Amino acid sequence: MDTQYTKVAIFLHWLIALLIIGMLAMGFLMEDIPNELKPVVYPLHKSMGLTILALTVFRIVWRLMHKAPALPEAMSALEKNISHAMHTLLYLIMIGLPMSGWALVSSSPKGIPTTWFGLFDWPHLPVLSEIDNKKEVSHSFGEVHETLAVIAILLIVLHVAAALKHHFVVRDNILTRMAPWLKPLPPKE
């Protein structure tokens, strides 16, 4: 039985994690940056968000094709259910956050095109780009986007706290199966 995730799953986990942390920081600082930097930062934010969306879809497909290592036998059924629920919520956030940003941009009355890192145009969502009350709809998507960002931060904190608890308190292999460069700690005496 595998005790570790595949190298692809590990790479995607850490790459997406770094991108999300960067995006959350950037997202909360964007409104306060000087106006001359906004034409650089906003397109970068959109490009990174679309990248997270694409990588997450790939990660979900990969995960469906490659079974995750079993959770430790010592974990209770409740802990296992909480773990599965947390991972489901994290995947929903990794899809919902960029989708709400895409919807926000697509419904914006400004109609600013999105280009992926300046390489090619990314289409707006057709239904949203043709609505009449763009200002209200765009504002609503902005509120959803911000709310999802706050939820993402809370979920990430809980996820990291649980991983650290498993490594330093419970001393099982939960963290080392996604971070194989760490050495498992010896069991408590």
CATH number at residue 15: 1.20.950
Residues 6+ apart with CB under 8 A from 99: 53
Within a domain: residue 96?
Answer: yes
**Taking 90 as the threshold, does the pLDDT of residue 161 lie above it?**
yes
**Position 45, amino acid:** H
**Taking 60 as the threshold, does the pLDDT of residue 79 lie above it?**
yes
Within a domain: residue 187?
Answer: no
**Taking 70 as the threshold, does the pLDDT of residue 115 lie above it?**
yes
- The predicted structure's pLDDT at residue 111: 82
Tell me how many domains the chain contains: 1
**Taking 90 as the threshold, does the pLDDT of residue 2 lie above it?**
no
Radius of gyration of the chain (CA): 19
Closest by CA to 17, choosing from 173, 160, 175, is: 160
Domain residue limits at 28:
7-170
- Contact between residue 47 and residue 116 where contact means Cβ atoms under 8 Å apart: yes
Within a domain: residue 132?
Answer: yes
Query: In percent, how much of the chain has pLDDT > 90?
Result: 80
Within a domain: residue 182?
Answer: no
- The predicted structure's pLDDT at residue 1: 52
- Contact between residue 121 and residue 150 where contact means Cβ atoms under 8 Å apart: no
Give the H/E segment covering residue 115: strand 114-116
Task: Give the global pTM.
Answer: 0.91
The whole-chain average pLDDT of the chain stands at 93
Within a domain: residue 37?
Answer: yes
Instruction: Give the number of C-alpha atoms closer than 13 A to the C-alpha of residue 160, restricted to the C-beta side.
Output: 9
